[in-house]
Amino acid sequence: MDTRRVLRTTGTLIAAAGLLVSGCTAGGSGSEAAASAPAPGRLAGQTAESARPEATPAALAPYYAQKLSWRACGVPGFECATLKAPLDYDRPASQGGKDIALAVARKKATGPGKRLGSLLVNPGGPGGSAIAYLQGYAGIGYPAAVRAQYDMVAVDPRGVARSAPVTCLDGPAMDAYTQVDQTPDDQAEQGKLVAAFKRFAAGCKERSGTVLPHVSTVEAARDMDLLRAVLGDQKLNYVGASYGTLLGATYADLFPRRVGRLVLDGAMDPTRSALELNRDQTEGFETAFRSFAKDCAKHADCPLGSGGPDDQARRLQDFFKKLDAQPVATGEKRALGEALAATGVIAAMYDESAWPQLREAITQAQNGDGAGLLALADSYYEREPDGSYQNLMFANAAVNCLDLPPAFSGPQAVTAALPSFRKASPTFGPGLAWAALNCAYWPVKATGTPRRLEAEGAAPIVVVGTVRDPATPYKWAKALASQLDSGTLLTYDGDGHTAYGRGSDCIDTAINRYLLEGTPPADGKRC
């Protein structure tokens, strides 16, 4: 299990395996042309052609001028379309390159009130389906006033879900991959883990070799600008969660004068290396676990006892060691070993509403029934009841390994880093350190590097951080807000991953006002 991902839908765990890690590069991206409209959305009489940036290279003009053909797509009230983009922005179709088809969905503004244009949403990952998020939550669960004045829009990023999805392994092979011991005790177990990473990478190359070099965050951000123009919006209005904050910040840095109202919730720090991001996130999960442990001790059914977090952490570590030596039954062919159990625990750290479920699942596993923790792990990996997997894990690795150079070059480098990971998290550190080895064997060389994203000249951008966020540590939000030329930090003193729509009236009121009126909260506001 690799924790470089963060996804959530209110009340529901959406899984993505792999690190949140992503970097950004300006290579081949070009710079923006001035966008002149003062309003955040489309102006009266504006067309997609008039929303096209003036300095768009001639080879890209047909993409900016295309018209979407909307159709019903199974969920009442939603429409779907296909957006054409160049597979390689440096070699569009007119220069002999190939195109890629990107899936788009929208729910038109319901009124009343002045229409404010389109509001693009992305739940994170990388690898989360924005369309599934739109249809399952944002398009029906965002505040009524927001949905009344915005067309709610989503595009599955390249390589994700309905947009030329990356595929790597079939269901049985993925089952085997998720069960590999990620806390190797000797050279033989290290060899098995390395072999698993290599099989995964080879499967991705075999099944998705054409798209693998072109699923970077920079390319996905450029796709968002195509969509903005085709929708007829002068400025991009956007709510991105988790990895979606990196995508939004990258867009803002590439096209600062096309920034409308951007909310970056559960922010990432683009200046951190893959190693630093992994270690930071490891510390974040330890913080979240200790918050869970304190809450657990208040309940009579706490399976970790009533002592302090240190004692409870030791009991959980002892439990993992027992599972490493002797997995327990789950009621199906897969047994619950340490790897799947740790994944199940980590999955529940994303939302405190899952803590009662976690208490019950650990209790059951201690009594020889691993079905509860297995279900949590399956939710994290997006495993379907029929044994198949959605492409979240595949896309997650593809984006992460392309965006940043690998955290480690090989097993020796992991071994050297283990003390720092154990310090960051005695509970999860070793497993998360070894999980970060996956990109070392990736078949495509990374194109990105850590760098500041400043978006000089952009309109105010709201960056949201949750103090005890397990997957995007709060310090990342502070870092991104300070980097962005117009960044405004909004803090939620709470648990779980991200803040908008998770029960804080203070957070929701501040963000809704910004989206509807264009007034950002005061920098440093705390809820």
DSSP state of 135: I
| 299 part of the active site | no
Radius of gyration of the chain (CA): 22
CA dist., res. 517 & res. 153, Å (int): 19
**Taking the CB of residue 212, how many other CB atoms lie within 10 A of it?**
23
Query: Which positions ≥6 away from 380 have C-beta within 8 Å?
Result: 1, 13, 15, 16, 17, 343, 344, 346, 347
DSSP state of 241: E
Q: Which of 280, 378, 469, 495 is catalytic?
A: 469
User: Distance of CA 3 to CAs 213, 286, 351, Å?
Assistant: 22, 13, 15
Helix segments in 271-410, DSSP class H: 274-296, 309-325, 338-348, 355-366, 371-381, 392-403
Helices and strands in the chain, H and E counts: 18, 12
Residue 229 pairs with which residues in a beta bridge? none
Which residue's structure tokens are 């890209």? 60
Q: Which of 242, 379, 425, 486 is catalytic?
A: 242
- Nearest-CA neighbor of 260 among 521, 526, 525, 520? 520
Are the beta carbons of 475 and 280 closer than 8 angstroms? yes
CA dist., res. 189 & res. 277, Å (int): 25
Q: What share of the chain is helix, strand, coil (3-state, %, to 5)?
A: 45, 15, 45
Please calculate the CA angle 245-248-251 and round it to the nearest 5 degrees.
150
| 469 part of the active site | yes
User: Distance of CA 486 to CAs 248, 260, 473, Å?
Assistant: 14, 12, 21
Could you give the residue numbers annotated as active site? 242, 469, 497
